[in-house]
Amino acid sequence: MKSIIVPVDFSEQSEKALKVAASLAKKHDAELLVLHMLELSPAIMTESGYISQEQVVHLIKIGEKRFADFLDKPYLKGVNIIPVIKHYKVFSEVNEVAEKHNADLIVMGSHGTDGLKEIFIGSNTERVVRTSDVPVLVIKGDVDKFKVERFVFACDFKEENIDSLKKAIEISKLLKAKLHLVYINTPGDEFLSTEDAYARISKLLNMATLGLEVDIYNDYTVEKGVLNYSESVAADLIGIPTHGRRGLAHFFMGSIGEDIANHSQTPVITFKI
């Protein structure tokens, strides 16, 4: 791991993510790109129109000063930090920064959202998960020492998941964590017999030339199954692939990866299919 990105907005959640990102950067001798988006687009308008260029420059300087103060933390000492400032809040730019700097991981904090707010607005972290081609590590709650001993990776073991599975294996090796692979079997149209489920799993593992054990876990929904299975093995990290659907496709179909990232109290890492 050579490069890690952590977007910050000065919130408590983003500082928790910054701490985890800093610990990973120290452990793997990686550079840490700390990204802040100033959100100037609503600020530069007044009732009479645009404010002066001088005032815009003043707002930028205030934001940059606050950003510099935010990065003056003891736990960042010894970390190779590269500050990155964007003047507008466009979440797809996180992926652009990741591509430009060849980043291996994006780390974000999230407190999750529920109800109508989740349906119509979603969370900032969810937007990044949806647009990122780079794995996104979502941190919930306080993580003083980010140490992963048990890593659960769940998918439907269809051919499209081969790359995500291989990335999950790489992450488990990088973190020196025991990898638990699981297929969640649910009632309804997606239900598979044990024989059919193992046939699908074996087919994918053979295509990927991987010799790994996979558990089959039964539950009412995939999301509940992933969370309940992870709790049963005391997972420290949950991995899940996500399609990153957008627009109406996302509204009507959703994304299990995003839902789990939103609702899990255990850290979650998503892999773009």
The percent of residues in the chain predicted with pLDDT above 90, rounded, is 53
Q: How high is the pLDDT of residue 38?
A: 72
Same domain, 4 and 126: yes
What Cα–Cα distance (Å) separates residue 43 from each residue in 92, 127, 225?
A: 20, 22, 44
d(CA 5, CA 246): 23
Q: How many CB atoms lie within 10 A of CB 43?
A: 13
The percent of residues in the chain predicted with pLDDT above 70, rounded, is 81
Q: Which of 140, 155, 178 is the last residue of a domain?
A: 140
Helices within the chain (DSSP H only): 12-28, 40-43, 53-70, 92-100, 115-120, 124-131, 162-175, 194-207, 222-232, 247-253, 256-263
- CATH number of the domain enclosing 243: 3.40.50.620
Number of domains the chain is built from: 2
Which region among 18-32, 73-87, 124-138 has the lowest average model confidence (pLDDT)? 124-138
Q: Which of 140, 170, 201 is the last residue of a domain?
A: 140
Same domain, 187 and 84: no
Q: Which of 140, 156, 182 is the last residue of a domain?
A: 140
Mean pLDDT of the chain: 84
Q: Which amino acid is at 21?
A: A
Q: How high is the pLDDT of residue 39?
A: 63
3-state secondary structure of 41: helix
Same domain, 27 and 132: yes
What Cα–Cα distance (Å) separates residue 32 from each residue in 21, 76, 136, 173, 211?
A: 7, 10, 14, 21, 34
Q: Which amino acid is at 89?
A: K
- Structural domain that includes position 61: 1-140
Q: How high is the pLDDT of residue 251?
A: 43
Q: How high is the pLDDT of residue 116?
A: 45
d(CA 114, CA 161): 28
